[in-house]
Amino acid sequence: MAPFSRKEMQEMIDMFLSEGKDNLQLIENQIQILEKDHNDNFALLELYRIIHSFKGMAGTVEFVEFEKFLHSYETLISLIQEKKVRISEPMIDLFFESVDLIEKSMKKVEKNQSVEKDFVDILKKIEKIKDDSKFSSEEASTKSRMKELFAESGLEEFSLESLIFNDPSLKFYLIKVILEDNIKLKLARLLVIIKNIEKFGIIAQTSPELGDILQGKIEQEIQILYQSSESSKQITKRITDSGEIKEVIIDETDAETIRKMKIEIEEEEQRSQTIQSFESSSDISSVKVDLASLDKLIELYGELLIRTKQLENKLSEFNRPDINEILFQIQSYMFKFQDVVVQIQMVPISSVFRIFPRMVRNVAKQEMKEINYVVNNHNVKVDRKILNEVGTIVNHLLRNAINHGIETVKERKLLGKQPKGSIVIETKIRNNVLYIEVNDDGRGIDPELISQAAIKKGLFTEEELSHMTDKEIINLIFLPKFSTASKITNVSGRGIGMNIVKEKVEALSGTVSLETETSVGTTFTVILPISRLLIRAILVRSGAQIFSIALDDIERLYEIPVSAIKMINSIPYIKIPGESNMIRIYYLGKLFKLENFEENQRTIKIVLVRRGSNMFGLIVDEFIRESEIVIKEIDDLRKGAKGISGAAILEDGSVSLIIDPFRIGV
Amino acid sequence: MGINILIVDDAKFMRNILKKILSGAGYNIIGEAETADEGIQAYRDKKPDFVTMDICMPNKSGIEAIKAIKAIDDDAKILVCSALGQELLVMEAIQAGAKDFIVKPFKKEKILETIEKLTA
């Protein structure tokens, strides 16, 4: 065969590059489908086809390294098709890594640079997967099925996220189970134990970890981190209902210890990820920053902001327009700086959504339901500090949708609906606010059923309910301890009501609402500020203490004569124009047990706070001003006083406590 | 007044051993089945208090039988009897609703201890 002329070769290379780009996009699309559904055979076939033709093109233009890599990739896909290798999360990561690598290498080809060494690492990784599969494809599928079985029984690898920190009735336990000597089927034994306790609490973590256990690293002793409202005696009984147990040692521990442990584990993961990414990155377009440095940066930014405000105050005493001009410039840079700081904190929301497809599949299966799960993320990014909380909130809403929303296949057929239910999550950002919608096409929430449950639970009387609108009745699901689940399953039976969602959302200064229509479906909408760095707040004084209340929580400020207070059963109320109900009022100073706050003045100053339909007034000594404050999280404070969500340092150096009026417990 | 037990196992030898151990301890053996389908039918007919279930049986496995029995009676108490090297199958059986398992070769005390606990 006559060799190609240089011109012909260049033409072919150009074609390879332009078609390659299209192929790359197609490859990425298929990987995204596979990420959602590891068993999508059509996507696999398509992926195989594209890579195969890409390989042929690379061979034609004599890009040997490309060809070799694509060949290896292709054989991996065929192993997956033959079910000799199962797709795993790390493999999906590897697929995405491959796309990045091909893209980078094509850019190099464009610039006539050598790509000889580009594929060495990834080839090794692919070959390793293939090697492992030769020996253990059967074992791998066994392991992965075992993992599924554990997951279906409430033990998952990421399950620390499922712990609940704001329900004091749920106690934390560290359980040590010592098995009898020489027992044979330890994994099966662990599954029996897990199943015995899963319905009565949350199994958060085991030591050894599940991954290690599946690798056979399980000895006689297993530790379980467990959260439950049951006593240690009850739990011990449930565990020893299983055979082959020598001893159970159970210690109750406190939320703080667990929280610290969780943070340590997360930091450890972060560190190992950082190391890994350093090892594998050759082309540096971004650097990893450890979280401590990032926190420091934000803290320093806060300090700078405070100092400039101090300077501005001080400067107002002098007539120096020239210095004022410089200060003005500094402040405008500070605003730009702030944007950057906020951006650095942002991480893609998709990272926390990754575990959901599997969860949806598992839970749906348990519930005998079929669900088409779709996420439209639109590249939304959120503050890393709220990321995990967002994950927990969505997790609850999803589980709720699967458990209570979507009907079983049988029910849906009877109703003339598509047998497969649909859950769609939509996330978007508008005006610095994050919207998360969880939509299902299930049975909807029937106000009649909610009313019945509310009466049964003794929350309301029939008389009281008769004055409520359907919407008000439906919103009762957000009340603590409200659940319409008729029987306890391991999905709904964990005491996780919608009230937890509401609490979590509100702890992030957000709101949650819902739209529902019987037998059409339900949409929950969560609205959250994307960043927690700065908030606009009103500063108020009670006694000697200055408090900050987020502007979002404040309906209005009032100054009214003390005679306007109406005492009903010795409880103080005020009447507000435009509001049909009387509004309950409280002395802020009394709520925080302060001394020397002003009582019995002729006029009183009231901050009217509202969140949803919940509204009340806080009596303060003084309205100081509106200000932008930098939130500093202070753990000690949180522990000490209910309703304190952080602290802010003011221009004069004094500390203002940021209060969340709806968590004071009034 | 005693506790009624159904034994499902395709091997006569195993059924005999179990029968001997269990009746020796005062349990009533109200039925024996050598296939999953027979076992399901026997459960329906005799409503035993307790079932011992082999996993590997011809045609239909013990796991299928457990699922079917659980569908008849969600409170059914089933003990899986398994051979070594079937860990995944044992786990599937537990997931299907078996309360516990024992591994062949059976030890008398082990079986009795387990059944006592589960029927308590």
pLDDT per residue as tens digits for the range A23-35: 888 888 889 888 8
Distance CA A535, CA A547 (A): 13
Q: Is the pLDDT of residue A666 over 90?
A: no
Residues 6+ apart with CB under 8 A from B97: B66, B67, B69, B70, B74, B76, B78
Burial class of residue B58 (count of CB atoms within 10 Å of its CB; 0-12, 13-18, 19+): exposed
- CB contacts, 8 Å: A187 with chain B: 87, 91
**pLDDT level of residue A303 (50, 70, 90 thresholds):** confident
Contact B91 A187 (CB under 8 A): yes
Tokens describing residue A502: 């509401």
- CB contacts, 8 Å: B103 with chain A: 184-185
Q: Which of residues 317-346 of A touch B (CB under 8 A)?
A: none
Contact A192 B100 (CB under 8 A): yes
**pLDDT level of residue A173 (50, 70, 90 thresholds):** very high
Tokens describing residue A366: 């348990």
Query: Burial letters for B77-113: b for 16+ Cβ neighbours within 10 Å, e otherwise?
Result: bbbbbbeeebbbbbbbbbbbbbbbbbbeeeeeeebbe
**Average pLDDT of B31-59?**
93
> What are the pLDDT digits (tens) for A619-663?
999 998 887 777 766 554 444 467 787 777 776 667 788 888 887
Residue of B nearest to A196 (CA): B99
Q: Give, in order, the Cα–Cα distances in Å from B96 to each of A195, A239, A364.
A: 11, 19, 16
Residue of A nearest to B117 (CA): A241
> What are the pLDDT digits (tens) for A523-582?
999 988 776 666 778 999 998 888 999 887 888 888 888 888 888 888 899 988 777 788
Burial class of residue A653 (count of CB atoms within 10 Å of its CB; 0-12, 13-18, 19+): exposed
Query: What CATH number does domain A348-445+484-529 carry, 3.30.565.10, 3.40.50.10140, 3.40.50.11610, 3.40.50.1220?
Result: 3.30.565.10
Minimum distance, in Å, between the CA of residue A240 and any CA atom of chain B? 9
Name the CATH architecture for the domain at A159-260: 2-Layer Sandwich (3.30)
Minimum distance, in Å, between the CA of residue A372 and any CA atom of chain B? 24
From A421, A439, A407, A610, select the one nearest A515 (Cα to Cα): A439
Contact A185 B82 (CB under 8 A): yes
Tokens describing residue A91: 């493999």
CATH number at residue B55: 3.40.50.2300
8-state DSSP, A632: B
Distance CA A453, CA A449 (A): 6
Count the neighbouring beta carbons within 10 Å of the beta carbon of residue A538.
Answer: 19
Share of chain A above pLDDT 90, in %: 13
Domain residues for the domain of B44 are 4-119
- CB contacts, 8 Å: B90 with chain A: 185, 188
Contact A185 B117 (CB under 8 A): no
From A643, A638, A633, select the one nearest A664 (Cα to Cα): A643
* Residue found by looking up tokens 């970890």 in the block: A209
From A209, A217, A219, select the one nearest A179 (Cα to Cα): A219
Contact B87 A185 (CB under 8 A): yes
CB A443 within 8 A of CB A518: yes
Minimum distance, in Å, between the CA of residue A360 and any CA atom of chain B? 18
Minimum distance, in Å, between the CA of residue A555 and any CA atom of chain B? 53
pLDDT of res. B48: 96
pLDDT of res. A445: 87
Cross-strand pairs, A231:
none
- CB contacts, 8 Å: A185 with chain B: 82, 84, 87, 90, 101, 103
Contact B91 A184 (CB under 8 A): no
**Average pLDDT of A8-37?**
83
Contact A243 B95 (CB under 8 A): no
pLDDT of res. A632: 67
**pLDDT level of residue A1 (50, 70, 90 thresholds):** very low
Backbone dihedral region of A615: left (phi > 0), alpha (psi from -120 to 50 degrees) or beta? beta
Minimum distance, in Å, between the CA of residue B55 and any CA atom of chain A? 14
**Average pLDDT of A338-362?**
78
pLDDT of res. A412: 92
SS3 call for A561:
strand
pLDDT of res. A488: 36
Residue of A nearest to B96 (CA): A149
- CB contacts, 8 Å: A188 with chain B: 87, 90-91, 94, 101
Q: Is beta strand A245-253 parallel, antiparallel or unpaired with respect to A655-659?
A: unpaired
pLDDT of res. B51: 97
Query: Between chain A and chain B, how many beta carbons pairs sit less than 8 Å apart?
Result: 47
Of B95, B103, B118, the CB nearest to A184: B103
Helix (H) or strand (E) holding A139: helix A120-152
Domain boundaries, chain A: 6-135, 159-260, 291-345, 348-445+484-529, 534-663
Q: Which of residues 105-144 of A touch B (CB under 8 A)?
A: 142
Residues 6+ apart with CB under 8 A from A260: none
Task: Detail the DSSP E strand segments found in A26-65.
Answer: none
pLDDT of res. A272: 60
Cross-strand pairs, B58:
none
- The answer to whether domain A6-135 has CATH 1.20.120.160 is yes
* Residue B90 in contact with partner chain A when CB distance is under 8 A: yes
Instruction: Decide which of A330 and A487 is more confident.
Output: A330
SS3 call for B111:
helix
Testing the interface with A: which of B52, B91, B94 to mutate, by most A Cβ within 10 A?
B91
pLDDT of res. B66: 96
**pLDDT level of residue A281 (50, 70, 90 thresholds):** very low
- CB contacts, 8 Å: B91 with chain A: 146, 149, 187-188, 191
* Residue A198 in contact with partner chain B when CB distance is under 8 A: no
Minimum distance, in Å, between the CA of residue A171 and any CA atom of chain B? 26
CB A23 within 8 A of CB A53: yes
Residues 6+ apart with CB under 8 A from A161: A388, A391, A392, A395
CB B7 within 8 A of CB B28: no
Q: What is the DSSP string of A374-402?
A: EEE-TT-EEEHHHHHHHHHHHHHHHHHII
Task: Detail the DSSP E strand segments found in A410-457.
Answer: 421-430, 433-440
* Residue A243 in contact with partner chain B when CB distance is under 8 A: yes
Q: 0.90 exceeded by the pTM?
A: no
Distance CA B26, CA B18 (A): 12
Peptide bond into A208 cis (omega under 30): yes
Contact A187 B114 (CB under 8 A): no
Please tell me the total count of domains within chain B.
1
- The answer to whether domain A534-663 has CATH 3.40.640.10 is no
